[in-house]
Amino acid sequence: MGEMIKMVVVLTVLSIVSGGSLSGLKVFTEPKIENQVMNLVKGPAIRQILEAADNDPVEDRFKITDGEEERNIFVGVFDGTADTVVVESSANGYGGKIGMVVAINMVEEKLRGVAVTTHTETPGLGANAKSDPTFAAQFTGKSITDSFGVTTDGGQISALSGATITSRAVATGVNQAVETYKELKPQLEEQINSMGK
């Protein structure tokens, strides 16, 4: 019986110490990791799709609460007006979650650009969603009133060859981003106005 109690106590204490120190570590590393992701993955992707913007969209970002989630929203200024927002979204691809950023022109209600940020798709096939610019370019300029889909499903986006699942996931992700944008639009406009740009 004594040994039994000792086992339970040792395992419990170990787990508590381990869990406690890890949550402490998370508090310390979380902002740093977010910065790294912002600088090295999302930042370049966002700057690329908003290349013509007058501001730095990565710097002009704010957080908005959507239900339980906090979302990063990036604002792009074109010709003196802050008319573009970038929404993040993700969808399940062939090898896991595909993260992407979707830029929406709020005045014309059109997509200004789409870029894949994080993914674990097959190199040479699905990974082309990120590396082949012609794929993502298909979204640019499309109106957000219709939802997007690949041509095999009757949509308007031609899939990457050999990577229909990935292409479908990107279309789904874009649809989700548009959905989020439509839901949050009043809040977004308010926030952008308060930024005074």
Of 86-125, which residues contact other proteins (CB under 8 A)?
120
CA distance 158 to 172: 14
- Of 25 and 195, which CB lies nearer to other proteins in the complex structure? 25
- Residue 79 found at the interface with other proteins (CB under 8 A): no
CA distance 98 to 94: 9
- Of 18 and 48, which CB lies nearer to other proteins in the complex structure? 18
- Of 39 and 151, which CB lies nearer to other proteins in the complex structure? 39
Instruction: Please report how close the Cβ of residue 125 comes to other proteins at its closest, in angstroms.
Output: 16
What is the size of the binding site for other proteins (CB under 8 A)?
A: 19
- Residue 18 found at the interface with other proteins (CB under 8 A): yes
Nearest to 174 by CA among 127, 81, 112: 112
**Contact predicate 167/135, CB 8 Å:** yes
Nearest to 84 by CA among 180, 189, 173, 172: 189
Instruction: Please report how close the Cβ of residue 65 comes to other proteins at its closest, in angstroms.
Output: 25
* Nearby residues of 166 by Cβ (< 8 Å), 6 or more positions away: 93, 94, 98, 119, 121, 125, 126, 129, 160
**Contact predicate 67/88, CB 8 Å:** no
- Residue 12 found at the interface with other proteins (CB under 8 A): no
- Of 123 and 186, which CB lies nearer to other proteins in the complex structure? 123
Footprint of other proteins on this chain (CB under 8 A)? 3, 6-7, 10-11, 14-15, 18, 21-22, 25-26, 29, 32-33, 36-37, 40, 120
